[in-house]
Amino acid sequence: MTTGTGSGTVGRPRVIGMLGGMSWESSAEYYRLANELVRERLGGLHSARLVLASVDFAEIEQLQVTGRWDAAGELLAGLARQLEAAGADLLVLCTNTMHKVADQVEAAVTIPLVHLADATAAAVRRAGLTTVGLLGTAFTMEQDFYRDRLAGHGLRVLVPPPDDRAEVHRIIYDELCLGNVTEISRQVYRDVIGRLAHAGAEGIVLGCTEIELLVGPEDSPVPVFPTTRLHVEAAVALSLAP
């Protein structure tokens, strides 16, 4: 996680800037979890102090599939600047895949970016594990930006074989991003997780914010690491830090 203190004042939580909409199904989870965690920590009627910028995911998805990552980064960087101007003291990019442009987004603001892969890797290391299986979009599983970030924390990262990667990716975009959660697809993910565990994965990183809508600890023979929850926990911890 990028360090920094933001502009929060003593006794008042820092404002979390959420850059979401990729997809809104998982961004809704970010909002819910942030408020639940703050209420758990502070009690009573407390809720999270946050501002949210939500993109049109169709526009982002087209930039992804056409490989226009710089344009996507510019779009998200502009929104990050808007969040900072709106009073955000720290920033979370509510998507695993778009952490491909995290450096571009971070460079656009003066507030700290809570990096999702760093928060996830910290949880894996706390659990005493060194080898994880990674599930996510094809971009996340096949490109270096995410796997290398995890490896930088001393982790060995396994990904599914090509056919499994294609099916994991398809279910994310054709079903989960549209709010469709089916038992058939849950079993597909269980089977992929089982094969990763058989290949040596000691834990499974649910490296797409939508995957937690489909599977959880009960679907895996090894520990799972829900990146959405871990990301929000890290952001709330920074928000509430003295």
Which residue numbers are catalytic?
A: 95, 208
Rounded to whole angstroms, the Cα distance separating 97 from 242 reads: 31
Beta bridge partners of 135: 206
Cβ atoms 60, 94 nearer than 8 A: no
Q: Is 202 helix (H, G, I), strand (E, B) or coil?
A: coil
16-20 sheet: strands from edge to edge = 50-54, 16-20, 90-93
Which residues on neighbouring strands pair with residue 156, listed in sequence order? 131
Number of H helices, E strands in the chain: 10, 7
